[in-house]
Amino acid sequence: MGIWDYISDLLEQSGKSFDQIKTNLASQMAYRTGNKFNFPKARRDESTTCTTFGVQVEDAYRYLEDADGEETKKFVEAQNALSDPFIKDCPYRQPIITRLKSLFEYPRYSCPFKKGNNYFMQINSGLQNQYVYYIMRGSLDAKPEVFLDPNTLSSDGTVSLSSYANEFSKDGKWYAYGLNMSGSDWISIKIKNVDTGNDLPEEITKLKFSSISWTHDNQGFFYAAYSSMGDGTETTECTFEKLYYHRIGTPQSKDVMVYERPDDPHYRFTTSISHCGRYLHVYSNKTCEYNLFHYYQFDDPLNPNITGILKLEPVVEELNADYYYVTNDGPIHYVRTNYKAPNYRLTVIDLTDSNTRQVDNWKDLINEHPKDVLQGCYAAREDLLITKFIRDVTHRIEIHRLSDGSLIRELNLPVGAIVGLSAERNQDELFYGLTSFLIPGVIFYLKLDQDLKNEPVVFKESKPANFDHTNFVTKQIFYPSKDGTNIPMFLVHHKDFVQDGLNPCMLYSYGGFNISVMPSFSLQRIILMENLGGVFALANIRGGGEYGERWHNGGKLENKQTCFDDFISAGEYLVRERYTSSNKLIIQGGSNGGLLVGAVTNQRPDLFGASIAHVGVMDLLRFHKFTIGHAWMSEYGNPEVEKDFRNLIRLSPLHNVPDPNSIDRFPAILLLTGDHDDRVVPLHSLKLIAQLQYKLGDKFGETPIMARIDTKSGHGAGKPTEKIIEEVADIYGFIINALSLNFKQST
């Protein structure tokens, strides 16, 4: 192709002017010399070392841990000055943005629920940055009215509703809602009068990951908070959370501290109020698994009279399993647990009986299933239990009798995942949402009639106008991992896909924290399958919760390498079966999945063409020192314990960048993070990109080894639609340029 043909093609595809073309060429000259990238030269402080258990550990970029340091700010600017023009230079970036906007332009719904006399649901009309809360007053058939629109709270959509601290009062007249700013985990709570729509004057701050539990007098709620609050760019450790009670109409300074654990700085608290209102349940944990279980009994639920420290009664005082309250009949409590049940079971305890209160004496109402994981239990219609199981990475729903746990029926569901389920002990309605790789979203409604013969009906369905699901196919396969274990993997691609090894493939996984990655719909994958002719692969590797606690334990702590082996084996399978080739195999993951991508890229750089790591945990020797990182020691181990340290130093992406003389190629890599990510703080990605460019930049100077650091952006939750579209377009721009992929225009 001649230069003028090339420029003509650029103009046609992206709508750029000649001036813009010249600007791009000038920027190329700045970030490249010939075919080699001009990687930023970060200062190395080789005097920053420490000796741990006899091992000398170099930490030459520790100064990048200071988010406010001038060197850090200049380093971030230099990284964006490298990656931004490379990404923006992709001639198909603007067509991708245009296509994404057309795909997003359809209404999407959350699962409705009823509080008091009113129904509520969230709706995004299409390109709104945040979902809008609607109220249907008095009836499900009532015209939806805007109840709370987060889009009005900021000009750029970076104020979002918290996914944690949101709860209506028992009578449905008050709504306490948490707000996150710029993607930070910090939460500020406001309280809205449901009838008038007006907010009370008080604001409650200093929360992270807190629940909200209203007392049944509808005059106040419990929440957990820290002693101070940052803006989301700080890295200081979060310690000594306390449990408070807030009475509406009063300032936060008047809130009553009801529980604390001054003996241990890492305890965090969540709560629930029993359906009868008489019991407060307090769950205490220090990590991301296992919790203590205490309760407090109010003399009068309608007059709780909370004035000081509550004397909690113990139910479970050992961190040995997960315990979740489901419902109760007076002192008889129903608790979902994985104590001596890796796939979970539903148990019955009597709080008034000291013998049956002993966890080893709890009786099963629903036994542990030999294969399926009991992921959730919900009380309904006074006498029913709705249960949600995972079977081979797809959800199923059963209805049981509360009196004896007997199975009444199983609902007939398409293959997919339940996203949202609402049921209440005193209501005879069930809502649940379902999605899958080719199902954008369907909300089902089921009237729980007396004989339970009704069938679910579609309440709302999301249908993108510019997407025909019949053009695509999905299937689940099982492939052998390094140790012979069969690992499930979903494959999604166009129906005309040819298995010849010539197409790109994006392999995604998570593999940690007992989290199950279920089938879900994603508009961004359509670009991969439709425009790039690629295949999407989801590997449900060990470390997740897809097959219960055994699956989780098989990929954590000393078994963490098993996660990486499972993922590498997935890549080998995809290449072996000619879904793709190694130079077109793209791997992607976020958070713990970002760690996964970083680790396997170091271990098998020959297997991958491009690595995309979002907000990854990259320094496994210091992760526990920042914000909430100490909570992950149950998953990774404690770097200050010798056995764990010796395991972590073998796995840590930062400490295992390969010697350039030992490898023949290294994949293109893009690390993504946000300046307000106060969960996996940006320093992880900053230190790793500096180390990658230092060690590999000379030999692999033509390989894009880059970072994209976004502003007013956090770990991912609440990210506005506009930012999502920009980020997806940037990722595809990076991949297309790095791998020289062909782009087919949408018809």
Among residues 481, 591, 634, 652, the one annotated as catalytic is 591
Residue 193 forms beta bridges with which residues?
174
Tokens representing 170 are 């028992």
Tokens representing 103 are 């795909």
Angle between helices 721-739 and 70-88 (to 10 degrees): 70
* Phi, psi for residue 507 in degrees, rounded to 5: -100, 125
Give the C-alpha separation, 686 to 673, whole Å.
9
Q: Cβ distance 224 to 270 under 8 Å?
A: yes
Tokens 């001036």 -> residue: 19
Give the C-alpha separation, 543 to 566, whole Å.
10
Q: Cβ distance 397 to 391 under 8 Å?
A: no
Tokens representing 687 are 């230190």
Instruction: Tell me if residue 503 falls in helix, strand or coil.
Output: coil
CA distances (Å), origin 461, targets 6, 101, 440, 466: 44, 20, 8, 15
Is 591 a catalytic site residue? yes
352 DSSP 8-state letter? T
Tokens representing 195 are 């009838």
Tokens 């005879």 -> residue: 428
Among residues 211, 322, 715, 730, the one annotated as catalytic is 715
State whether the Cα torsion 7-11-14-15 is positive or negative.
Answer: positive
CA distances (Å), origin 31, targets 38, 403, 689, 711: 5, 69, 16, 21
Tokens representing 259 are 């529980």
Is 715 a catalytic site residue? yes
Distance from chain centroid for Cα 63:
29
Among residues 677, 678, 710, 730, the one annotated as catalytic is 677
Tokens representing 407 are 């199975």
Strands 585-590 and 610-614: parallel
Which of left, alpha, beta for 504 (phi over 0: left; psi -120 to 50: alpha)?
Answer: beta
Cβ burial of 212 (10 Å; 0-12, 13-18, 19+) is buried
Give the C-alpha separation, 693 to 39, whole Å.
6
Q: Give catalytic residues, as residue numbers.
A: 591, 677, 715
